[in-house]
Amino acid sequence: MIAHFPTISANILDSLNQFPVNNKEFIIIEKNGIKIGIIGIMSDDFYNLVNQKSGAGIKILPTIETMKRLAAMLYPKTDLLVALTHQGVDEDSTLAMNVPGLDVIIGGHSHTRLKHPKKINGILIVQTGSNCESLGVLDLTLEKHHVISYDGNLVQLWFNGARPKTELSALIDSMKQVIDQDYSKVIATLKTDWKRGG
């Protein structure tokens, strides 16, 4: 295991229907008297995103069904409800259309640089791109469990691979090295263009 910190993912189970590697479905953080519920979710397309070895013994619960259940449970217990997703901005938009009670979706996977929040069905969707090139800042004003105003933008951290070496960049590089080893093997060569679908 590369990460030495707890993870949040409501829909990843192991073969015993338990949460692997200390996963939790959600957490509730209280800051300045505001209770923030955070639900983690992984893409339904998980098995196409990881190599077979990494997906062995893993079961993925349906994202929308899982989010609806947890959002309904956490809404009365929190002031702000956040989905932390790894499924892409299009799927985040679908999630916003189908899960009442959410306030913010902080997404990843599609590497979309949303310079300002996208608002779908009253839910804010934010994503910062990839490779830690940007830091997302989202300011919210809350009133009675509703976001009544917001301002969000991206802060550019660096523009190319010549980023400064820090403790954080060393951690990122060490994780990238392990991942790159798994994905650097050539397993096939396409002789024609790859066409998805039937």
Residue 198's CB: how many other CB atoms inside 10 A? 3
The vertex-193 CA angle with 187 and 198, nearest 5°, equals: 95
Residue 78's CB: how many other CB atoms inside 10 A? 22
- Using CA atoms, how far apart are residues 85 and 186, in angstroms rounded to an integer? 29
Per-residue pLDDT at 160: 59
Q: For 96-139, what is each residue's pLDDT tens digit?
A: 999 999 999 999 999 999 999 999 999 999 999 988 889 999 99
Per-residue pLDDT at 122: 94
Burial class (CB in 10 A: 0-12, 13-18, 19+), 131: middle
- Using CA atoms, how far apart are residues 49 and 63, in angstroms rounded to an integer? 15
- Using CA atoms, how far apart are residues 119 and 72, in angstroms rounded to an integer? 21
Per-residue pLDDT at 76: 95
Is residue 197 very low, low, confident or very high in pLDDT (cuts 50, 70, 90)?
Answer: low
Report which of residues 159 and 84 the model is more confident about: 84
Q: For 54-78, what is each residue's pLDDT tens digit?
A: 778 888 899 999 999 999 999 999 9
Averaged pLDDT, 127-155: 91
CATH numbers and ranges of domains, the chain: 12-158 (3.60.21.10)
